[in-house]
Structures are given as structure tokens and as C-alpha cells.
Structure 1
Amino acid sequence: MERFFLYDDIEENKTRFVSFMGENQRYDLAILQSVRFYGKVLVLDMQHNRFAILGTDDLDEPGYLEQVYNRPPEEAQEIREYLYELIG
């Protein structure tokens, strides 16, 4: 059977690994910047094995980070504040 690819691209991208302490929690994130995401970034939460493609519009959406990263509001807010500094 022949595979039907929608796309199979190789590109250079920029990846940043960040580890920081919040009030009560450590965060380990990988942030990938690629032209594929149309100005947004792919943010991987390496501790909880979750990821999302985020832009400032997503950061502004109430409860969005809490849902995609399965984090309580206080922890999601710490991630949100860091990402605003990075991509805002």
C-alpha cells in the first residue's frame, strides 16, 4: 500500500529550553518557533507531557492554559506571565 502524504517537510526552527521556579512549582518548557505556526509558538510542558500552539490571543483566552496543560489556575497564570514576556 502506498502512503499518501499531506506534507513531509524539513525546516530549520528555533528551539528554546526554559526551566524556572514559580511560587510553588518548577516549570520545564520547550518553546519551538517555526514558520509553520503563522506567528505562534509550540510550547511543550515537559513535566506533564502536554503541548499547545500558542499566540497572545490564546494567552488572553480565560481558562485556556488551565485546560491544555491540565494545571490549576495559579500554575497556569505563572506560565501565562512568562509566555507574555516571551511572545507578547
Structure 2
Amino acid sequence: MSERFYLYDDVVSTKTRFVSFMGENQRFDLAIIQTDRYYGKQVVLDIQGGRFAIIGQDDLEEPNYLEEVFKLNSEDGQELREFLYEII
């Protein structure tokens, strides 16, 4: 077997917030990870849906970004966007 070639192998400290809230149509169970990586953006994990994205303010302003990444309808996407605007 050949030697493993790493592109990087770093250990970093993170701050993780676990939050669950009820929207009009669905429940959101999220883990929001803050780290020094990703140019100030945060990793947002949809725990139940098994999806994640690296999100910053610019991404929240991108039309239909959250809806596409997290497979949400426009109403649920807007609820998630409003919540993330408060914390990102």
C-alpha cells in the first residue's frame, strides 16, 4: 500500500451552538460551528436532514441559496434565513 498523501491535517478549536426551533411548517435542528477557517463564515449543519453549508452574510443574501442547499420550500427557507441573519 502506498503512503497516504495529506492535503492538510489540522486540529482547530471551535465554538459549536446546537439550536432547535419550530417554524410554521417544520422543525429545524441545527449545529452552527464557528472556526477560524472559511474566512469568517460558519458551518451550518441540518442535523435531521443530513445537509450542511459554509455560510456567511453574502450567502444569506444570495437568492434561493438556503432553499437549494437545505432542500427547503421558499417559506421554510425564509424562516431559516431570518434566524441565521440574527446569528451570522
The two structures have a TM-score, normalised by structure 2, of: 0.96
Give per-residue Cα distances to partners, 1:46-84, cap 9 Å, x unaligned. Answer: 111100000010000001111000111111111100000
Could you tell me which runs of 5 or more consecutive residues in structure 2 were left unpaired when the two chains were aligned: none
CA distance in 1 between partners of 2:70 and 2:30 (Å): 11
1:22 deviates by 1.1
The amino acid that maps onto 1:84 is Y
1:23 deviates by 1.4
How many residue pairs get aligned? The number is 87
Q: What's the counterpart of residue 54 of structure 1?
A: 55
The amino acid that maps onto 1:77 is Q
CA distance in 1 between partners of 2:44 and 2:69 (Å): 11
- Which 4+ stretches in 1 moved above 3 angstroms? none
**Paired-residue identity, %:** 64
The amino acid that maps onto 2:10 is D
Q: What's the counterpart of residue 33 of structure 1?
A: 34
> The residue matched to 1:38 in structure 2 has which SS?
helix
Could you tell me which runs of 5 or more consecutive residues in structure 1 were left unpaired when the two chains were aligned: none
Root-mean-square deviation over aligned CA pairs = 0.6
The amino acid that maps onto 1:21 is M
The two structures have a TM-score, normalised by structure 1, of: 0.96
